[in-house]
Structure 1
Amino acid sequence: MTTPQILLFGLLGTMIVLMLWGRWRYDLVAFAGLMVAVLIGLVPKEQAFYGFGNPTTVIVALVLIATAGLTRSGAVSRLTRVMATRSRGTSAHIGLFGAVGGLLSGFMNNIAALAMLMPVDIQTARKTGRAPGLTLMPLAFATILGGMLTLIGTPPNLIVSGFRSEVLGQPYRMFDFLPVGGAVAVAGIAFIALIGWRLIPRRDRSEEAGDTGGPQRRYFALLVVTEASLKSARRVSDAREEAARASVRIVGVSRRGQEMTGKLDEQLLEDGDVLILRADPAALDEFRSTSDLSFPDGRNEPRARKDSEGQHLVECLVPAASELAGRSVRSFGMMNRHDGVLIGLRRRGVALRRNLPLQVLEPGDMLLMLMPESRTEETIQATGLLRLDGGSLPVQRERHMKSAVALFVLAVIATAFEVTTMPIALGCVIVAYTLVGVLSVHDLYKHVDWPVIVLLGSMIPLGLALDQTGGSALIAQGLARLTQGYPAWAALVVLMGATMMLSDVLNNNATTIIAAPVSIRLAEALQVQPDAFLMGVAVAASCAFLTPIGHQNNTLILGPGNYRFGDYWRMGLPLEFIVMMVSVPILLIVWPL
């Protein structure tokens, strides 16, 4: 081994140990390791920040923003309403989402499949009182497994197909991967759903309750019935059922300024009726979006508020120095001066219900305000209100839902048929989301998980250095010597095991590029057909379940799932053993040596 190789292996080993230890954040360890590598000459200074412009890093950032757009448009709420139910246990939920995610991954990039289902899974966790971390990792692993079903499901399949074309003159066909990939996916998803999720560490009670960080205090609030909402709920009883699914309780109905009495459930709703509800802000907006209701406009007799621009639900505290202390919202002219509407009011821990705009506000009152996104900061400063930490919720813009979903699906199709690359397709989607108003410019930066971006941007140059210093070739040579004299199936097992370990440290594409030539040389040395070895490399390179840096899907869930670097191996290690036990016999049957 040369001195650069020794230094690089030592540096990577130290970084992995520190990340597993968890004393310092993984992004700090990765960036510090990159700086050390540059200072001692392992990474040229010209390549130090190459990873931050790498397509993998860009894809992760763009996917996070694009999924935020799908959430803001209300598409996620609609899908959640179909797929989420309180009666479904965690295993059944993981089995359903894993099967859907795995199937989608077979026909689109598995990153895109995870991007579609991840926000739905997070909202489902919140609705069912479950920690998102219990289901996000199983979902990510399931989409990785599903990517092995077809040629286009994951990049390693395309890479080994290219190597086969060079060696044998013919690439793999679309469904050549299905026999082995299908068996591995079924066995893997079954393990994840029944046993694997139970191995994931649990943090604290707030996470176990499915707390996503948003406001959870309940208020009495009003929503206005529209013609669109009457298509799904003609009676109050219908509206109650829909409200219950969103964790909202209907406590009354008002018509032309008078609250209705008697048995409400049999009453027919009319356009302009006002539902009196009790809910937390997130559930209130979800119910409004999925039922095509409208926020009130703040008048004495509420009417539907026009959605002319993005809006925020903001929780504020009234301090003694506020301009609103000792005055009502109406006398202050909140609607006329700032286009703000009082949605809910809590005083000394109790939610008030009646005549909210006329209530004289006291210091310590908690307000739920609806404000235009562009004027939120201006209104907060002008009124002297104190915004609560985490108490700002972007209102879903369901009128953009069809266009948001269509743009995202179009990007997936364009990528699948190689019309353009995924970064370009997602970039165009995000630009379109901004132009039509699904996302604001501020949202573009707010939804990027920057620690994850730093992790990827720092690790990619180190992976390149491993190849440039000859470290990758050294691994390949050692593997070739180790398998000399063994039967072909034993060599296949060793090759797949080494590929899995390498893929957990390097990007799966880089691992495939390194391992595929080795597999062909091993097959030639053993005088056997190379297909089983090439397929084994494709399977093993995709199955990077031990770290958050082995596969982009693992990286995507790192922040939303509140995982640590050392959490992945607990479920990932037994899953990799299952992959080996299932794939090797089937490889030998489907692709005889």
Structure 2
Amino acid sequence: MNKELIWVVSLLLITILLFISGRLRMDAIALLVIVVFVLSGTLTLQEATLGFSDPNVILIAALFVIGEGLVRTGVALKMGEWLIKMAGSSETKMLVLLMLTVAGLGAFMSSTGVVAIFIPVVLSVAAKMGSSPGRLMMPLSFAGLISGMMTLVATPPNLVVNSELLREGLPGFKFFDVTPVGLVALFLGIGYMLVARFWLVTPGKEEGSKQQLRKTFRDLIRDYKLSGRARRLGLRAGSPLIGQRLDDLQLRERYGINVVGLERWRKFRRVMVPVTGTTELRPRDVLLIDMSAAGIDLREFCSEQLLEPMILRGEYFSDRAQDVGMAEAVIIPDSSLQGKTLREIAFRSRYDVSVVGIRRRGELLDGVLTDRPLEMGDTLLVIGDWKKVRAIRQQRELILLNLPAEEDDVAPAPSQAPHAIFCLVLMVAMMLTNVIPNPVAALIACLLMGKFRCIDMESAYRSIHWPGLILIVGMMPFALALQKTGGVALVVDGLMEVAGGKSPHVMLLCLFVLCATIGLFISNTATAVLMAPIGVAAAQQMGVSPYPFTMIVAVAASAAFMTPVSSPVNTLVLGPGGYRFSDFVKIGVPFTLIVMVVSVLLVPLLFPF
């Protein structure tokens, strides 16, 4: 092992350790990798930044936009409505339909996005059927991962592997080449989860889960201990608060008072108006406030600020449920909110809703919530105008878990939905015919979605998961560096010593095990970037076709079932499903072994050696 290779391997190990530690953002680490490679002289600037010109990066970005178009036009949520209608009260039927639908949608849009969309659907379905969400959440995540095996564009690892074949001057995979493997994995997954779902609910856990199904205002008030915290205060003439903006008053910082609603006189009656940090108070306004952290004498405060206490019917604004919305939202993986306080991110100004409660790993946080750093998986209870609460669905930092029963939840179905479906079908048709390159086909679909007003430019740019793209671009130099310094050849030589004299099936097995092991520590996309060149080189050493070897790399990269941190898809369902780390190990490891055996036997039949 030469000095250059030792340096590249050391840098790779450091990168993996940084990924595991979570101290730095993964996209920041990827950019640091590019900088270090250039400064150290290992790669030239052109070589280190080669990923920025890779057509597959453009394709992945375009697919994010198309997925967002399907969400904005209500196509995905319409599928959720159909699921509820078709499944009825049968949990078995629901599980089968859920996995089929998620795998089908995930074949053409981000699996993480599909799972995020269906989490509220699953919670609603579980509530109506009176069953535990835990029996459906893991099937949801498994279907999302399996969807990556359904089409060439279903997940970035497939595109990465295909790009490696093209780089070697070989024809790439066709759009549906991976589909047979995905279909077999899907049907195996459905059969497996029909049995394994019973392992997910332990005695006593079922009852606790039922209490978290379709919640009402009363349930949320009880769960977050909101009783006694609400007040209704009217502004009297001459109040020093009149004419002031809420952000300027700093009521939370000075008094521990959180304004969550505002009644204002309009046309001889009081109406609710949305509250934001820029809301300016007017005479005769009535403040709806939360006093969770208030350490003041309310009577003295009202006297000082010329406020008049008013009658409040019902517990914590439950009598205003038609005007004041309330819901739970969860912080997603890679969210920029992690590690920051509500005060630092100006949460109310950013989302136009107030946070009145936070649960972390099932425990209710107390004290001043605005000064508590947020963590991934935290469940926030937000309150505000219904329109603003619903708007959280469009945010990429949070997932709206469920809206309480008081809100008549109607899934959006704008007139642009048929146009969005047309754009999707047209893109798939262009990719199938191979008339134009896949990235161009996706860009045409994006432009048509904009033309048909399925999505605007601002939403399109916001929909792209830039950290994921930067991660791909930053990991690509490793593959080139390992090739230049002999690292790929060294790994291939090691594989050849173990399996070179045996059947190619044994080599496929070794590649799958190596991919699955690496995937425990870094993302499946990064795994594919590192392993794709090794698969091609191993095939060349054995004198056989590289297609079964690269296909096994793609399948293994998607088979991230074993831990809740193997994929963001698993992390998303961890909280809503009430799972422990051991639940994923218990369910995921056996299914990974099943997928491994089946793919090692099936892939050579589809792509002969």
Note whether the superposition's TM-score is higher than 0.5. yes
Distance in 2, matches of 1:409 and 1:188, equals: 27
* 1:121 and 2:80 matched: no
Other-structure match for 1:4: 4
Counterpart-to-counterpart distance in 2, 1:56 and 1:568: 35
Query: 1: CA distance between counterparts of 2:350 and 2:9?
Result: 55
Matched, 1:457 2:457: no
- 1:429 equivalent in alignment to 2:429: no
How far apart, CA to CA, are the structure 2 residues paired with 1:76 and 1:164? 38
* DSSP 3-state at the match of 1:84: helix
Q: Which residue of 2 aligns with 1:99?
A: 100
1:45 paired to 2:45: yes
Q: Helix, strand or coil for the counterpart of 1:483?
A: helix
Residue matched to 1:518: 538
Q: Is the CA contact (8 Å cut-off) linking 2:516 and 2:560 kept in structure 1?
A: no
Could you list the per-position Cα deviations for residues 394-421 of structure 1 after superposition, in whole angstroms to 9, with x for gaps in the alignment? 5946111111221122112212222334
Aligned counterpart, 2:70: 70
Give per-residue Cα distances to partners, 1:279-304, cap 9 Å, x unaligned: xxxxxxxxxxxxxxxxxxx999xxxx
For residue 353 of structure 2, what is the aligned residue in structure 1? 388
Q: Which residue of the other structure, out of 430, 441, 448, is the alignment partner of 1:414? A: 430
Q: 1:387 to 1:494 in 2, by over 3 A?
A: closer
Q: Secondary structure at the match of 2:435?
A: coil
Alignment equivalent of 2:595, drawn from 575, 579, 583: 579
Superposed CA deviations along residues 36-78 of structure 1, whole A, max 9, x for unmatched, are 3333233433344443453444344333332222122122222
Q: Distance in 2 between matches of 1:402 and 1:573?
A: 41
Give deviations 1:258-295, integer Å, cap 9, x for gaps: xxxxxxxxxxxxxxxxxxxxxxxxxxxxxxxxxxxxxx
Whether contact under 8 Å (1:319, 1:386) holds in the other structure is: no
- 1:451 counterpart letter in structure 2: P
Q: What displacement does 1:573 show?
A: 4.8
What does residue range 534-553 of structure 1 map to in structure 2 within 5 Å?
A: 534-535=547-548, 537-545=550-558
2:148: which partner in 1?
144
1:349 pairs with 317, 336, 351, which one? 317
Partners of 1:34 and 1:198 in 2: CA distance? 45
Query: 1:22 matched to which residue of 2?
Result: 22
How many residue pairs get matched?
431
Distance 1:58 1:36 in 2: 25
Is the partner of 1:398 in helix, strand or coil? coil
- Conserved? CA contact 1:160–1:512, under 8 Å: yes
Q: State the partner residue of 2:375.
A: none
1:286 alignment counterpart: none
For structure 1, which runs of at least 5 residues remain unmatched after alignment?
219-297, 301-312, 329-344, 357-365, 369-383, 525-529, 549-553
Which residue matches 1:84? Answer: 84
Q: Distance in 2 between matches of 1:9 and 1:162?
A: 26
C-alpha displacement at 1:162, in angstroms?
9.1
Q: CA separation in 2, counterparts of 1:386 and 1:579?
A: 42
Contact 1:64 1:448 in 2 (8 A): yes
Tell me if structure 1 keeps the 8 A contact 2:512–2:556: no
CA distance in 2, matches of 1:197, 1:455: 37
Question: Are the structure 2 counterparts of residues 545 and 437 from structure 1 closer, same or farther at C-alpha, using a change threshold of 3 Å?
Answer: closer
Q: Which amino acid aligns with 1:387?
A: D
**What is the match of residue 346 of structure 2?**
none
CA contact (8 A) 1:118 1:136 kept: yes
- The change in CA–CA distance for 1:8 and 1:407 in structure 2 (over 3 A counts) is same
- Any gaps of 5 or more consecutive residues in structure 2? 128-132, 219-265, 288-312, 327-348, 355-381, 395-411, 576-580
Mapped to 2, the partners of 1:444 and 1:160 lie a distance apart of 28
Kindly report the root-mean-square deviation, in angstroms, between the aligned alpha carbons of the 2 structures: 5.5
AA aligned to 1:42 is T
Q: CA deviation at 1:544?
A: 0.9
Pairs within 5 Å for 1:365-380: none
Distance in 2 (alpha carbons) for counterparts of 1:175 and 1:33: 34
Instruction: Tell me by how many angstroms 1:569 deviates.
Output: 8.5
Report sequence identity in percent.
Answer: 18
Maintained 8 Å contact 1:508/1:542: no
Within 5 Å, which residues of 2 pair with 1:87-236? 93-100=94-101, 102=103, 110-112=107-109, 114=111, 117-118=114-115, 120-125=117-122, 127-128=124-125, 130=133, 134=138, 137-147=141-151, 183-191=184-192, 194-195=195-196
In structure 2, the CA distance between the partners of 1:515 and 1:126, relative to structure 1 (3 Å rule), is: same
Aligned-partner Cα distance in 2 for 1:415–1:467? 31
User: Which of 416, 419, 430 is the equivalent residue of 1:403?
Assistant: 419
CA distance in 1, matches of 2:514, 2:321: 64
- Residue 544 of structure 1 aligns to a residue whose secondary structure is helix
Q: Deviations for 1:463-499, whole angstroms, at most 9, x for unmatched residues? A: 3322333322222222223334445654553354446
CA contact (8 A) 1:156 1:508 kept: yes
Q: Is the 8 A contact 2:103 2:146 kept in 1?
A: yes
Q: 1:263 — aligned with what? A: none
Q: CA deviation at 1:16?
A: 1.7
Q: Tell me by how many angstroms 1:119 deviates.
A: 5.9
Q: Distance in 2 between matches of 1:560 and 1:136?
A: 10
**Which of 252, 260, 281 matches 1:322?**
281
Q: TM-score, normalised by structure 2?
A: 0.54
Structure 1 residue 89, shift from structure 2 partner: 7.7
Partner of 1:262: none
Residues 299 and 47 (structure 1 numbering): CA distance in 2 closer, same or farther, change over 3 Å? farther
Which amino acid letter does the alignment assign opposite residue 400 of structure 1? Q
One-letter amino acid matched to 1:419: V
CA contact (8 A) 1:74 1:398 kept: yes
The 1-side partners of 2:30 and 2:161 are apart by 29
Q: Whole-Å Cα distance in 2 between the matches of residues 33 and 579 of structure 1?
A: 33
Q: 1:28 to 1:315 in 2, by over 3 A?
A: farther
Q: Are the counterparts in 2 of residues 159 and 513 from structure 1 also a CA contact under 8 Å? A: no
Tell me, yes or no, if the aligned pair for 2:508 and 2:552 is still in contact at 8 Å: no
Query: Cα 1:433–1:49, aligned 2, differ >3 Å: closer, same or farther?
Result: same
Output the CA distance in 2 between the equivalents of 1:26 and 1:199: 31
Deviation digits for residues 218-276 of structure 1, max 9, x if unmatched?
9xxxxxxxxxxxxxxxxxxxxxxxxxxxxxxxxxxxxxxxxxxxxxxxxxxxxxxxxxx
* Structure-1 separation of matches of 2:513 and 2:148: 17
Does the 8 Å contact 2:64/2:109 carry over to 1? no
Structure-1 separation of matches of 2:464 and 2:61: 6
Report the 3-state secondary structure (helix = DSSP H, G, I; strand = E; otherwise coil) of the residue aligned with 1:81: helix
Q: Where in structure 2 are the equivalents of 1:201-350 lying within 5 Å?
A: 315-316=274-275, 321-323=280-282, 325-326=284-285, 349-350=317-318
C-alpha separation in 2, matches of 1:32 and 1:321: 45
Matches within 5 A, 1:352-363: 352=320
Return 45-54 or 404-413, whichever deviates more.
45-54
Report the CA distance between 1:441 and its aligned residue: 3.0
Counterpart of 2:61, as a letter, is A
Select between 190-199 and 534-543 the one with higher mean Cα deviation.
190-199
The answer to whether the 8 Å contact 1:133/1:561 transfers is yes
> What SS class does the counterpart of residue 458 from structure 1 fall into?
helix
The 1:50/1:72 distance shift into structure 2, 3 A limit, reads same
Give the corresponding residue for 1:241: none
1:534/1:401 Cα in 2 relative to 1: closer, same or farther (>3 Å)?
closer
Counterpart secondary structure, 2:42: coil
Q: Which amino acid aligns with 1:38?
A: V
Deviation of 1:507 (Å):
5.7
